């Protein structure tokens, strides 16, 4: 992706255990530290207890970023998004990612929840699927080279000639 494409999009997606262990991370900005972010949201979840269960999805708006937090299957998905990114059905996208991750790794997640230590590299192949989901989302909402964005770009280039 070009720098221009990265400006108004997904900055980082982290799927972590309920204990704050980052299992999968896809990030565009290297300065984002999943080893600090995941435990923070896990601690926030523990601190709020049952209150956050009723809010299994939250969108936190900051200066230039929005942070989507989605909980399901004893997992937490944290999506750090540019404020300008169109957020059409973003909660259901996060839920689909968590559902697929859980289905693929149910046995491993259950073992982790029982205290087993696992090699976290087993979750690496999910990064490819998560990247693909991000690209498909961009296409659906007309961002990042979707059909209409490409068509408009070609039209503008042709009219400049």
3-state SS track over the chain: CCHHHHCCCEEEEEEEECCCCEEEEEECCCCCCHHHHHHHHHHHHHHHCHHHHHCCEEEEECCCEEEEEEEECCEEEEEEEECCCCCCCHHHHHHHHHHHHHHHHHHHHHHHHCCCCCCHHHHCCHHHHHHHHHHHHHHHHCCCCCHHHHHHHHHHHHHHC
Flag residues of the chain having pLDDT under 70. Answer: 1-8, 46, 48-57, 143-161
Q: pTM for the complete prediction?
A: 0.77
Q: Residue 55: which domain range?
A: 3-160
Q: What domain count does the chain have?
A: 1
Q: What is the pLDDT of residue 33?
A: 80
Structure tokens at 113: 């929840």
- Kindly report, residue by residue over 54-66, the tens digit of the pLDDT: 446 677 778 889 9
Q: What is the pLDDT of residue 101?
A: 94
Q: What is the pLDDT of residue 57?
A: 62
Q: What is the pLDDT of residue 6?
A: 46
The CATH code of the domain that includes 94 is: 3.30.450.30
Q: What is the pLDDT of residue 88?
A: 86
Q: What is the pLDDT of residue 2?
A: 39
């Amino acid at each position: 992706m070009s720098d221009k494409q990265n400006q108004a999009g997904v900055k980082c997606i982290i799927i972590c255990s309920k204990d704050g262990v980052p299992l999968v991370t896809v990030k565009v900005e290297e300065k984002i530290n999943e080893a600090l972010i995941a435990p923070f949201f896990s601690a926030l979840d523990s601190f709020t207890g049952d209150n956050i269960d009723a809010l299994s999805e939250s969108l936190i708006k900051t200066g230039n970023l929005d942070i989507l937090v989605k909980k399901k299957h004893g997992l937490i998905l944290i999506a750090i998004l540019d404020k300008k990114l169109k957020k059409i059905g973003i909660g259901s996208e996060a839920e689909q990612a968590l559902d697929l991750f859980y289905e693929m790794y149910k046995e491993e997640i259950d073992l982790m929840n029982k205290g087993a230590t696992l090699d976290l590299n087993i979750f690496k192949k999910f990064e490819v699927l998560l990247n693909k989901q991000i690209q498909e989302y961009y296409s659906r909402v007309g961002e990042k080279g979707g059909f209409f964005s490409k068509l408009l770009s070609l039209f503008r280039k042709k009219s400049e000639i």
